[in-house]
Amino acid sequence: MSSSITLTARGRVAPVAGWASLGLLAIGALYLWQFISPTQAALLIVGGAFGVVLYHAAFGFTAAWRVFINERRGRGLRAQMVMLAVAVVLFFPLLDAGSAFGNELSGYVFPVGVAVVVGSFLFGVGMQIGGGCASGTLFTVGGGNARMVITLLGFILGSVIATHHVDWWWDRPAFEAVSVVEGLGVTGGLALSLALFATIYAGTVYFERRRHGALEQPAAAERAGWQRFLRGPWPLIWGAVALALLNALTLILSGRPWGITAAFALWGAKGFEAVGIEVAQWGYWQLPGNARALEASVLADATSVVNFGIILGALLAAVLAGRLAPSLRIPPRALAASIIGGLLLGYGARLAFGCNIGAYFGGIASGSLHGWVWLVFAFLGNVVGVRLRPWFFGDESRQSRQPASC
């Protein structure tokens, strides 16, 4: 059965899906340019680029952390440190200036308290049970992973449920928001951040060599030159640099860093309202920005538009790579894992002011202390999630594998 599905996907479905993704990106950009704004059109294309990069580089966070926890292989974590290093070099001067090309810029700088600690920990557990992070869920959905569609639905449901409770969580004890850019200046903030990245990078090298004697080498490339660029797979370092550049472009275009999960809460809230649940009465949806987003079209929401682009870009990349082979076979325990993991991901992200993209990537790139706290407690949550995975997925092989999203 699975071989026939793969043959059908590659022989018939894949070309149609490839043209469809290109067509939707082009038509969507033209529509947004004409009826919403040129910025939204540009953000859809940026989202498409994010999707291609994530898919071709297999740049995930979940498996990178799991492989380090289980095997002390740190190639994926080192790529994340490179990504963050490039990002802060781009972000800190922009945020210090406060504007670019006439657009006001602001980073993701939030208080550090109980909500961030609990939310990031729950998110970390959900990463391993659900099989992906926020970016990983989107690009694997675009790449044809049916199980991750279930995770995404759970993610959306968990996000909107959290908006009913989040004002209580945000009222728990917390320290004021801290920005190293404001506190230390651009030079001091860069020096501190780069030193921390280098320390983590060196730590992964130490633990990997201690366990294995040598660092893991990437697999030999199947393609070279333009063939590799268009069809993948990409080295992780390409993905790291490209994601940092695209995040900086998102900051310039939208005025804030790349985010993902706020859109999931919005999609869920609109779904709730469609069935008669008045979420507009909840405190979260009475905040000015959230209230406006709830009343407007999702196409006016920058985060939603980028998310749509990621799915379409990943679909295009999967077709180019010749790897689009969807399957609807999901074992019962894996189905349960997707639902439970998705709920934890969505709920945790709202509590912690974001996910691995908005809180971790965007927070640290913005110089926010809450991004580092998110990293610590999300990693601890991943440790717990890794211990829970065998119940859902059986005894997993401890052989080395390339870090991916799930």
Q: What is the pLDDT of residue 403?
A: 37
Tokens of 318: 């999967």
Task: State the CB neighbour count (10 A cutoff) for residue 7.
Answer: 11
Give pLDDT tens digits along the chain (406 positions): 333 334 344 455 667 888 889 999 999 999 999 999 999 999 999 999 999 999 999 998 999 999 999 999 999 999 999 999 999 999 999 999 999 999 999 999 999 999 999 999 999 999 999 999 999 999 999 998 999 999 999 999 999 999 999 999 999 999 999 999 999 999 999 999 999 999 999 999 999 999 999 999 888 888 888 888 888 899 999 999 999 999 999 999 999 999 999 999 999 999 999 999 999 999 999 999 999 999 999 999 999 999 999 999 999 999 998 888 777 788 999 999 999 999 999 999 999 999 999 999 999 999 999 999 999 999 999 999 999 999 998 755 443 333 344 5
- Looking at residue 5, what is its pLDDT? 37
Q: Is residue 398 part of a domain?
A: no
Q: How far is CA 43 from CA 48, 188, 259, 353, in A?
A: 9, 32, 12, 22
Structure tokens at 53: 């990069």
State phi, psi for 196 to the nearest 5 degrees.
Answer: -65, -40
Beta strands of 17-129 (E only): which ranges?
A: 99-100, 103-104, 112-113
Cα atoms found within 13 Å of the Cα of residue 4, Cβ hemisphere only: 1
pLDDT computed for residue 13 by the predictor = 61
pLDDT value for 402: 37
Residue 261 in contact with residue 155, Cβ under 8 Å? yes
DSSP 3-state percent helix, strand, coil across the chain (nearest 5): 75, 5, 20
Residue 245 pLDDT: 98
Reported as half-sphere exposure (CB side, CA atoms, 13 A), residue 148 has a value of 21
The pair phi, psi for residue 270, each rounded to 5°, is -65, -35
- Compute the distance between CA of residue 219 and CA of residue 221 in angstroms, rounded to an integer: 6
Is the backbone peptide bond immediately before 233 cis, with ω within 30 degrees of 0?
yes
Domain that holds residue 155: 2-393
How many domains does one find in the chain?
1
Give the contacts of 221 (CB within 8 A, at least 6 positions apart). 228, 233
Tally of CB atoms within 10 A around 123:
35
pLDDT for 1 equals 35
How far apart, in whole angstroms, are the C-alpha atoms of residue 349 and residue 374?
10
Question: Residue 13 CA to chain centroid, in angstroms?
Answer: 27
DSSP, res 281: G
Q: Compute the distance between CA of residue 387 and CA of residue 124 in angstroms, rounded to an integer.
A: 12
Query: Within a domain: residue 402?
Result: no
349 lies in some domain? yes
Which has the closest alpha carbon to 193: 405, 63, 375, 379? 375
**Cα distances (angstroms) measured from residue 3 to each of 18, 49, 141, 206, 330:** 21, 30, 20, 42, 16
Three-state DSSP state, 327: strand
Torsion of CA 323, 327, 333, 339, to 10 degrees: 80
pLDDT for 405: 46
Distant-in-sequence, close-in-space partners of 274: CB < 8 Å, separation ≥ 6: none
